[in-house]
Amino acid sequence: MSAELIAFIIRRIITATLTVVAVSLLIFLLLQAAPGDPVTTMTAGHKVPQERINMIRETLNLDKPIIVQYWFWLKGIFRGDFGMSFIKDIKVSVLIIERMPVSLQLVLFSGLLTVILSIPAGIISALHEGTMLDSVLITLSVITASSPVFVVGLLLIIIFSLWLGWLPPMGLDGLFDVKRLILPCLALSLTFVGLLFRMLRASMIEELQKDYVVKDRAMGLGKAKITARVFKNSLAPVLTVSGFMIGSYIVFAVLVEYVFGLGGIGSLLVNATLTQDYPIVLGLTVFISIVFVVSNFLVDLLYGVLDPRIRYSSRK
């Protein structure tokens, strides 16, 4: 744990925090910019008795100047309070906690699947550059990368549930319900497998041309060890690409949840937009954005650990 590493981590934490503030500001501004006043927005389309409206006005501090409103909003976020649904009469944070396990399962297992599928494929393709196997893998990757998640998801359901009858189509039955998780996870990961695979392959091919690989071979190091080292050095661009993809990944997870009827945070978001339950929509957006920021932060961290040169150069 060198001094540079610690300084690097601290800098990243500060950036992440500032970004969260920026996000909250953006959402807040969007709310203000929406047609009508916030109360109308929040209760859109629903008949709400007057006392309810007054209570809402108070909760949102609508009588106070905008800056103060924002201040309370921001404070709330840092305390984990993402607002409250007036229609369902539950705090958004409660809903999040309730539905977290489902979303977590989806996201984590998909991520695992993506890594399991793309990394070996990328390495093999790079080592066998130009062969038939390589070409086949590349073609597959472009095809999967361009198909939207929900299309893939729906097609998977059609193939595996309807035609082959192997797997149940929707819903989720408690934790680690593998049968029901396979299809959603597969749908979510395929798009990214394509992208990651190609990135890893390109990166490794370039790295394999480098002189130090010649040195390693000249010194009689085993193929496995050399490949492992080359792989480690090739990860940087892959991580960068992953970093850009996290946003899409999270949102696609939302779509997948909707397609497969999983009761997670994503489907909550979609249903809330359809029922015009804006507190949930906004609260979840802030929450998801924070998840996004934190993920980026972790990726940056990983980057710094893997490549020592980065720790020095990221000073502004």
Partner 1 sequence: MKKYHKHTPSKERAKVNGSRAAPRILEVRQLSASFYLNRKVIKAVDTVDLYVDEGETVGLAGESGCGKSTLASSVMKLIPYPGRIVSGKILFRGQELLKCSEQDLQDIRGNRLTLIFQDPSSYLNPTVSIGMQICDVIMAHNPVDAREAKRRTVELLGSLGIPEPAHRFHSYPHELSGGMKQRVLIAMAISCDPDLVIADEPTTALDVTIQRQILELIKEKVIGEGSSLLFITHDLSILAEICDRVYTMYAGRVVETAHTVEFFHNPLHPYTRKLLSAIPRYDVKKPLAEIPGSPPSLDDLPPGCSFYPRCDLRSERCLKLRPELRELGMKHWVSCHNV
Partner 2 sequence: MIYRTRFLTRQIQKALVRVRSNHLAVAGLIIIGFFAVLAIFAPLIAPFDPYATDLNATYAPPSWRHPFGTDHVGRDIFSRVIHGARIAFAITVLVVLIELTVSVPLALISSYIGGTLDEVVMRIMDMIISIPHLLLAIVIVALMGPGMRNAIIAISISYMPMLARLVRSVALSIKEEPYIEACYVLRFRSVRIVFSHILPNIVSVIIVQLSLDLGYALIDMASLSFIGLGVQPPKASWGAMLSLGKSYLLHSPWMVIFPGICIALLVFGFNLFGIGLGDILNPKARQRGG
Does residue 76 contact residue 83 with C-beta atoms inside 8 Å? yes
Q: Which is nearer to partner 1, 94 or 221 (CB)?
A: 221
Contacts with partner 1 in 114-153 (CB under 8 A)? none
Residue type at 223?
Answer: K
Q: Which part of the chain contacts partner 1 (CB under 8 A), choosing from 72-80, 225-233, 238-246, 266-274?
A: 225-233
DSSP-derived secondary structure for 273-306: HHTT-HHHHHHHHHHHHHHHHHHHHHHHHHHHHH
* Residue 28 neighbours by CB under 8 Å, 6+ apart: 69, 70, 73
Applying CB under 8 A, what is the total number of residues that bind partner 1?
Answer: 20
Q: Which is nearer to partner 1, 34 or 202 (CB)?
A: 202
Burial of 90 (0-12, 13-18, 19+ CB in 10 A): middle
Per CB under 8 A, does 232 bind partner 1? Answer: yes
Q: Which is nearer to partner 1, 277 or 300 (CB)?
A: 300
CB 301, min distance to partner 1, A: 16
d(CA 111, CA 94): 26
Query: What element of type H or E holds 84?
Result: strand 84-85
Does residue 73 contact residue 26 with C-beta atoms inside 8 Å? no
Q: Which is nearer to partner 2, 4 or 150 (CB)?
A: 150
Dihedral sign computed on CA atoms, order 145, 146, 148, 152: negative
Question: Which ranges of 147-277 would DSSP assign to H, the alpha helix?
Answer: 149-157, 178-208, 211-218, 223-260, 265-274
Q: Which does 278 bind (CB under 5 to 8 A by kind): partner 1, partner 2, none?
A: partner 2
Q: Which does 142 bind (CB under 5 to 8 A by kind): partner 1, partner 2, none?
A: partner 2
Per CB under 8 A, does 107 bind partner 2? Answer: no
Per CB under 8 A, does 259 bind partner 2? Answer: yes
Q: Which part of the chain contacts partner 1 (CB under 8 A), choosing from 164-172, 187-195, 216-224, 280-288?
A: 216-224
Q: Which part of the chain contacts partner 1 (CB under 8 A), choosing from 14-22, 116-124, 177-185, 306-314?
A: 306-314
Taking CB under 8 A as the criterion, the residue among 134, 216, 277, 300 binding partner 1 is 216
Among 25, 44, 59, which residue's Cα sits nearest to residue 286? 25
Per CB under 8 A, does 58 bind partner 2? Answer: no
Q: Which residues form the interface with partner 1 (CB under 8 A)? A: 210-212, 214-222, 225, 229, 232-233, 306-309
